[in-house]
Amino acid sequence: MRLRQGKYRDVTSYSNDPVKVAKDFAKQGAKYLHLVDLDGAKQGITSNFEIVMAIRKAVTIPIQIGGGIRNFDDAFTYLNSGIDRVVIGSSAILNVSLIGRLINEFGSERIVVSMDVRDDKVMICGWEEKTKIEIDKFLLILKKLGVKLLCVTDISKDGMMSGPNFELIKKVLVFDFKVIAAGGICSEGQLIKLEAMGTYGAIIGKAVCEGRIKIDRNYLTKRIIPCMDVKDGRVVKGIHFANLRDAGDPVELAKFYSEAGADELVFLDISATVEERNLLYGLVEKIARAINIPFTVGGGIKSVEEVQQLLCTGADKVSIGSKAVLDPSFITDIANQFGTQCIVISLDCKKATDSWELFINGGGLATEIDALKFAVEMEKAGAGELLINSLDRDGTGDGYDIELLKEISKVVNIPIIASSGAGSSEDFLKAFNYGCADAALAATLFHFGKLQIPSLKKYLSDQNITIRI
- Residue 360 CA to residue 13 CA, distance in Å, equals 49
C-alpha torsion angle, residues 190, 195, 198, 203 (rounded to 10): 70
Q: Does the annotation count 348 as an active-site position? A: yes
Which residue among 229, 263, 269, 401 is the active-site one?
229
The alpha carbons of the chain give a radius of gyration, in whole angstroms, of 24
- Residue 220 CA to residue 151 CA, distance in Å, equals 19
3-state class (DSSP) for residue 327:
coil
Strand 343-351 relative to strand 385-390: parallel, antiparallel, unpaired? parallel
Kind and range of the H or E element at 88? strand 85-88
Q: Which residues contact 23 (CB under 8 A, 6 or more apart)?
A: 58, 59
Q: Which residues contact 169 (CB under 8 A, 6 or more apart)?
A: 152, 179, 181, 194, 197, 199
Q: Does the annotation count 229 as an active-site position? A: yes
Q: Determine the distance from the C-alpha atom of residue 41 to the mean position of all C-alpha atoms in its chain, rounded to a whole number.
A: 30
Which residue among 116, 263, 348, 394 is the active-site one?
348
List, as own/partner pairs, every contact residues 200-208 make where C-beta atoms lie below 8 angstroms and the sequence separation is at least 24, other chains included. Answer: 200/149, 201/32, 202/164, 203/34, 203/151, 205/2, 205/34, 205/159, 206/2, 206/12, 206/159, 206/161, 207/161, 208/25
Angle at 341 between CA 338 and CA 347, to 5 degrees: 105
Q: Which amino acid is at 457?
A: K
Positions annotated as catalytic residues are 229, 348
